[in-house]
Amino acid sequence: MIFPKQGSSHDDVIARINDALSADLDWRGGKIWSLVYFAGDDVADVIRDAYSAAIYTNGLGPTAFKSLKKLESEVIAMTGELLGLPEAVGNMTSGGTESILMALKTARDWARAEKGITEPEVILPTTAHPAFHKAARYLGLKIVLTPIRDDYRADVDAVRSAIAQNTVLVVGSAPCYPFGTIDDIPALAAAAQQRGVPMHVDACVGGFLLPFVERNGYKVPPWDFRVPGVASISADLHKYGFAARGASTIMYRDRTYRKHQFFTMSDWPGGLYGSPTLAGSRPGGAVAASWAVMTYLGEEGYMRLAKVIMETALAIRRGIEAIPGLRIFGDPDVSLMAFGSDELDIYAVGDALDQLDWHPDRQQDPPSLHLMVTPAHQPIVQPFLAAVRQAVESVRAGEVVSGGTAAMYGAAAKIPDRGAVRSFIADAVEGFTRLDKTP
């Protein structure tokens, strides 16, 4: 497509967008198991209207847009309360990756200022999100990877042994994305605190779900600011907070630590410049929509959705465990799970599910299919389990053989040569930056 010489009508533009959207997978019908957190049309209407109302506002200018300062402050206050520390401080970001990047920058700059550390290291369990590796590469941090235990949680003894003179941060997950298990945050935080190292909890997935799961009476391991030694928490509003993308929070126990997150410049000809997070201009619509959905749902609404999510996840888990040849990895604490097989090619099972118009994500180490359960999946539990049983039978009968579907976060992609995965990813990333003439 070339740049149009003349504009198009409103109806034509929207029609063409809707035509493009028609090629997407059916997330509304629960046919995919990642990427979208849909809480119903009523919630969608609220966040759409709130986002539109603030679409021209800019978080870079809090004096010009006092509305955003008020709304963001209230979002942060509500988030602190949910995370076990009403007086916690923080900021909204564009998503979990930016929140994680801010957490690592804060730890790096704090360690440089307070301890003189110039070769900083971050300790990560292997299940920590790739955003930590991405942020570390951007920020010049060395990653020290530690193994997980047989229960798919961080090996605390390995983390304790890995803490060294240059360690600036220890990371745990609540939960980890691959297996839905919550790391032993009290033990990790204690090990870090004993060596004078801050602890970060990645609750990008669980931050706005676990508090309401616990309030519904489910047993939830300790993970938030109620745990001594936890210095920062990342929690995504656009996941189980059900806000519009992109909206996340990075939260800190105290202000003196958080000040290392900020960037300021005093000698620019344009005037004083300062920004609390990575972004300069920030979309006010995301702030307004986050405040709107939290206010609209309230504790009662979030508890209702959390109950639906947990009941749905447990029904799916029990259904999968009842299918001969399949097993759940570990003991998931919440609504994410991975299942695999000791006797079947699980990727072939995934391919068979694709043919039946169900699209679980693929994972590796161990090979597995991944499910992230939302309220959208409540109506399709039995149809999905029936499809899984049919897929397993097809693989057992030799009717489906894996066609080389690689394990990719958030998507399943056909790669004929599994050894070409790195090249494929590089080409895919490049594809996002260019516009081909053909689809």
Question: Rounded to whole angstroms, how far apart are CA atoms 213 and 306?
Answer: 6
Question: Rounded to whole angstroms, how far apart are CA atoms 427 and 111?
Answer: 37
Handedness of CA 31, 35, 38, 44 (dihedral sign): negative
The answer to whether residues 154 and 146 touch, using CB atoms and an 8 Å cutoff, is yes
Indicate yes or no: pTM above 0.75. yes
Model confidence pLDDT, tens digit, residues 8-48 = 999 999 999 999 998 888 888 889 889 999 999 999 999 99
Question: Rounded to whole angstroms, how far apart are CA atoms 350 and 224?
Answer: 35
Q: Do domains 47-295 and 301-432 have the same CATH topology?
A: no
| Displacement of CA 273 from its chain's centroid (Å) | 30
The answer to whether residues 19 and 439 touch, using CB atoms and an 8 Å cutoff, is no
The CATH T-level fold of domain 301-432 is Aspartate Aminotransferase, domain 1 (3.90.1150)
From first to last of its 439 residues, the chain has per-residue pLDDT tens of 889 999 999 999 999 999 999 888 888 888 988 999 999 999 999 999 999 999 998 888 788 888 889 999 999 999 999 999 999 999 999 999 999 999 999 999 999 999 999 999 999 999 999 999 999 999 999 999 999 999 999 999 999 999 999 999 999 999 999 999 999 999 999 999 999 999 999 999 999 999 999 999 999 999 999 999 999 999 999 999 999 999 999 999 999 999 999 988 888 898 888 888 888 888 899 999 999 999 999 999 999 999 999 999 999 999 999 999 999 999 999 999 999 999 999 999 999 999 999 999 999 989 999 999 999 999 999 999 999 999 999 999 988 776 655 565 655 455 444 455 555 555 544 554 454 444 4
Question: Rounded to whole angstroms, how far apart are CA atoms 162 and 144?
Answer: 7
User: What are the phi and psi torsion angles at 237 (to 5°)?
Assistant: -70, -30
Question: Rounded to whole angstroms, how far apart are CA atoms 322 and 307?
Answer: 23
* The token pair that represents 395 in the structure block: 């693989």
Question: Rounded to whole angstroms, how far apart are CA atoms 208 and 249?
Answer: 10
Give domain limits for the chain.
47-295, 301-432
Q: Which residue has the tokens 């957490």?
A: 103
The CATH T-level fold of domain 47-295 is Aspartate Aminotransferase; domain 2 (3.40.640)
* The token pair that represents 287 in the structure block: 């702030």
Length of the chain: 439
> What are the helix and strand counts (H, E) for the chain?
13, 15
Non-local (6+) Cβ contacts of 405 within 8 A are 347, 350, 351, 354, 362, 412, 413, 414, 415
Given the DSSP bridges, would you call strands 142-146 and 121-125 parallel, antiparallel or unpaired?
parallel
